[in-house]
Structure 1
Amino acid sequence: MNAPLPPAHGLPLQRLDAAQWQRAKLLLDDSWIEQEPPLAAALPVVLARDVGLDWHKAGTFRHHLLGVTRTLQLWQQPEDVKLLGLLHSVYGNAFVDLVKFDANSERSKLAAVVGEKAEQLVFEFCTLSRAQFVQKVLAGQIEADGAVVLEHKGSPRRVEPYTVAAFIIVSMADTMEQWFSWQDDIFSSFPNVPQRSQKAHWMASLWPGPMRPSGRMLSQIASLGLALQHPGLQGLLPVPPVFAHCTQGLAPAADAAAASLYWSVIQQDQPLTDLDVATGVLEQAVQLNPWVGEPQMVLAQLYLSAGRDADAKAAADSALQAFSQWGNAWDKRVQWDAWVAWTRILQQHAQNGNWPERLDKLNNVALKPE
């Protein structure tokens, strides 16, 4: 018999916050948006423009817009910011050629549905340079009062502090919802995107590619979140709960290494007969990047397989907390709600100490009423 593995002491796991989990639980039902009157009123208007038929990164444009809005709902943002999330590309922009409303003739039509404040946010988000905005924020080029000055049509354009805060938060949610390894390749080095030949790099262009989690963008999202600590931006909007309420960064090297370590286990590039190596690799991934749930969730299953129920419960709780903070998946091979569902299975079996010993019995596991 193999010697028991040591307990998972020292891992930066989070405790499951009941209130955060309850907010997330409400969003597992797709009908949640119907309970939010401003969003419910705007959704049919957007759907009438065939957003469900349009491709967008890891899904459809409808999937993307609703996913971004779900995260903003989870982050307890005000109505105008959530509406910005739902409509954030409908006038098109430099990165997405999906014009659903004509900014020259239909602004009043959209404002009649969502209100002038939200429509103005949408218009600016679509028409100002988002690449330049992200560059300025990441470089710390934020005015003392929280404003950001952009170049727009050859002239300086001041973006007011509230709008800056809204754009940062929506950009965080937008990036998390859509970014995976395919974009790491075709849109590498964002916001400074090099011009590369599609024909020469045909392999990188094949959609959706291997569906690895991004190895670079989570650190950028963390840096955007840290910008919300700027004195001119504090208190303008609720701070997202991710990265310890946007007080912690994530080094690019740690982001890249954690994603690679996680993916090496997913691709079974570790010994297949014993758990110790794969467990150690995932533990290192969690040490480097404790802010996403998928590595912790897979680690919980390895702990269960090794009979380490207490460690499995701690890892599953922490994974569920991370999923409850994001509202979107980091590993986009399956959707957010599926990751949450499997994590709850692991959590309950760890609590009850009854993980199946036979492989075929995994097909029978189901969540028991709580």
Structure 2
Amino acid sequence: MHLPFQALDPYLFTRAQALLDEEWLHKDADLAPVLPTVLARNVGQDWHKAGTFRHHLVGVARSLTQWQQPRDVRLLGLLHSVYGNAFVDLVKFDAASERGRLQALVGESAEHLVYLFCTQSRAQFVQRVLAGQIEPDGSVVLDKNGQRHVLTPYEVAAFIVVSMADTIEQWFSWQDDIFSCFPSVPQRPQAVHWAASLWPGPMRPSARMLSQIAALGQALQHPGLQGLLPVPPVFAHCTQPLAAADEAAATALYWSVIQQEHPLADLDVATAMLEQAVRLNPWVGEPQMVLAQLYLSAGRSADALQAADSALQAFSAWGNAWDKRVQWDAWVAWTRILRQSASEGGWPERLDKLNNVALRS
């Protein structure tokens, strides 16, 4: 068996563990002072994709924190849609009258990033970055209402990193349909495509956006952008691509196992499907986590440990879940159970005893 499993980086995992505490944001010296003002705008009551707006903002900030981004970029993540934008009508601060208030709260540099991120065309930005339309110095030229606007190299790097975190936190199959072909989204009539509109749909992981995130990350290797910000630890520190066809096939294989669309009497078919999913897309943890459990069920503890370590590495690298059916911390918790069982060489023989498993360290 040769699979592209990743070794678990203890330092990265330790950083991720600190973010498993629900109170991590309240303890963050940079973000905690801003939180009461944000929460006072009822972000915990607003719907947003796979959760609430609060869930989304905190999730984006969590990835950016795990990626060791500087204060202004992490604040951009926490506040990235508060002035509203072309994608959402959630206006929590009025850009015409409240910029001064937000500047006083977070500082001019952070507020400037938030304002630009909300008011410039993010679809156009992503299109130009993916098309390689980055100037030699790292800047990107955008057009808005006939006006030319130049994003500085630092702004470009910040917008790329936050776009990566923003996408991984929220995107799942429902958006694959309603925002099909993003960033060039065709306008389709809702009534005709009513089945695609039903929220939340099957909650299948996205079959197309990881490859786009990988391409955005690779843009950080542009000579004009290198060294401006810490490179996210995903896709081998943004050095490796993910082919769109490989992503789509890997998602289909994974979801077929989750939906049990294969022979169920023995483990061989499901195991082979997940192994192929990992070969095609080794950058997310969920397929490797499920594979680790199959290995445990087959008595393959050494293989299970490798798969669980690799899954934990992926979860730690992202700071968010790819499969949105449960939250990131739950995926991490179950993977740690699998890793513990693989290390100790034990796994319940009785089905009901799975209810008893617990983490001991």
Partner of 2:324, secondary structure, is coil
**Counterpart Cα distance in 2 of 1:142 and 1:84:** 22
Which residue in the other structure is 2:182 paired with? 190
Which residue in the other structure is 1:267 paired with? 259
- 1:207 aligned onto 2:207: no
Partner of 2:35, secondary structure, is helix
Write the letter of the residue equivalent to 1:212.
Answer: R
RMSD (Å), alpha carbons = 0.5
Write the letter of the residue equivalent to 1:65.
Answer: L
- Counterpart mapping for 1:128-143 below 5 A: 128-143=120-135
Match of 1:348 among 340, 357, 361: 340
Match of 1:161 among 130, 149, 153: 153
Which residue in the other structure is 1:3 paired with? none
1:305 CA drift (Å) = 0.2
Which residue in the other structure is 1:225 paired with? 217
Write the letter of the residue equivalent to 2:275.
Answer: E
1:38 CA drift (Å) = 2.3
Partner of 1:143, secondary structure, is coil
Deviates more, 1:30-39 or 1:18-27: 30-39
Which residue in the other structure is 1:6 paired with? none
Which residue in the other structure is 2:141 paired with? 149
**Counterpart Cα distance in 2 of 1:32 and 1:176:** 20
Which residue in the other structure is 2:75 paired with? 83
1:30 CA drift (Å) = 1.3
What's the CA shift string for 1:320-341, capped at 9, x where partnerless?
0000000100000000000000
- Counterpart mapping for 1:266-305 below 5 A: 266-305=258-297
Which residue in the other structure is 2:312 paired with? 320
- 1:20 aligned onto 2:9: no
Match of 1:179 among 145, 161, 171: 171
Partner of 2:163, secondary structure, is helix
1:195 CA drift (Å) = 0.4
**Counterpart Cα distance in 1 of 2:2 and 2:223:** 33
Partner of 1:295, secondary structure, is helix
Write the letter of the residue equivalent to 2:49.
Answer: K
1:36 CA drift (Å) = 1.7
**Counterpart Cα distance in 1 of 2:17 and 2:62:** 11
- Counterpart mapping for 1:6-85 below 5 A: 9-85=1-77
- 1:120 aligned onto 2:125: no
Write the letter of the residue equivalent to 2:137.
Answer: D
**Counterpart Cα distance in 1 of 2:29 and 2:37:** 13
- Counterpart mapping for 1:102-117 below 5 A: 102-117=94-109
**Counterpart Cα distance in 2 of 1:90 and 1:103:** 9
1:153 CA drift (Å) = 2.2
Partner of 2:23, secondary structure, is helix
Write the letter of the residue equivalent to 1:305.
Answer: S
**Counterpart Cα distance in 1 of 2:52 and 2:26:** 20
**Counterpart Cα distance in 2 of 1:187 and 1:43:** 30
What's the CA shift string for 1:209-261, capped at 9, x where partnerless?
00000000000000000000000000000000000000001000000000000
Which residue in the other structure is 1:237 paired with? 229
Which residue in the other structure is 2:208 paired with? 216
**Counterpart Cα distance in 2 of 1:19 and 1:55:** 35
1:35 CA drift (Å) = 2.1
Write the letter of the residue equivalent to 1:307.
Answer: G
Using the size of structure 1 for normalisation, the TM-score is 0.97
Match of 2:241 among 245, 249, 258: 249
**Counterpart Cα distance in 2 of 1:345 and 1:219:** 30
Partner of 2:94, secondary structure, is coil
What's the CA shift string for 1:284-307, capped at 9, x where partnerless?
000000000000000000000000
1:152 CA drift (Å) = 1.7
1:10 CA drift (Å) = 1.3
Write the letter of the residue equivalent to 2:9.
Answer: D
Write the letter of the residue equivalent to 2:247.
Answer: D
What's the CA shift string for 1:81-140, capped at 9, x where partnerless?
000000000000000110000001000000100000000000000000000000000000
**Counterpart Cα distance in 2 of 1:250 and 1:348:** 31
1:34 CA drift (Å) = 2.0
**Counterpart Cα distance in 2 of 1:35 and 1:333:** 28
Write the letter of the residue equivalent to 2:224.
Answer: G
**Counterpart Cα distance in 2 of 1:132 and 1:186:** 18
Deviates more, 1:360-369 or 1:286-295: 360-369
**Counterpart Cα distance in 1 of 2:15 and 2:352:** 34
**Counterpart Cα distance in 2 of 1:28 and 1:284:** 30
